Amino acid sequence: MNRIKLKVLGISYSQTQTGAYALVLAEEDGERRIPIIIGGFEAQSIVIKLENLKPPRPLTHDLFKSFADNFGITVFEVFIDRLEEGVFYSKILCSNGEKEFPIDSRTSDAVALALRFNCPVYTTSEIMDKAGIIIDTSEETPDPESEEDSGSSGLQEDEYASLSDSDIKAVMDEAVKKEDYERAAALKAELDRRKGKGKSDKE
186 has pLDDT over 70:
yes
Residue ranges and CATH numbers for the domains of the chain are 3-196 (3.10.690.10)
Percent of the chain clearing pLDDT 70 (strictly above):
78
Burial of 49 (0-12, 13-18, 19+ CB in 10 A): buried
Q: Find, among 111, 33, 126, the residue nearest to 78 by Cα.
A: 111
In terms of pTM, does the model score above 0.85? no
pLDDT, tens digit, 9 for 90 and up, residues 148-158: 433 333 334 45
Instruction: Report how far Cα 48 is from the mean position of its chain's Cα atoms.
Output: 10
Taking the C-alpha atoms of residue 37 and residue 113, their distance in angstroms, rounded to an integer, is 17
Higher pLDDT, 167 or 50: 50
Per-residue confidence (pLDDT) for residue 152, from 0 to 100: 34
Taking the C-alpha atoms of residue 88 and residue 196, their distance in angstroms, rounded to an integer, is 24
Per-residue confidence (pLDDT) for residue 124, from 0 to 100: 96
- Return the H-helix or E-strand segment holding 42: helix 40-50
Taking the C-alpha atoms of residue 98 and residue 184, their distance in angstroms, rounded to an integer, is 39
Q: Which of 66-80, 124-138, 146-160 has the lowest mean pLDDT?
A: 146-160
128 Cβ neighbours under 8 A, 6+ residues apart = 4, 27, 32, 34
Confidence of residue 12 (pLDDT cuts 50, 70, 90): confident
Higher pLDDT, 26 or 159: 26
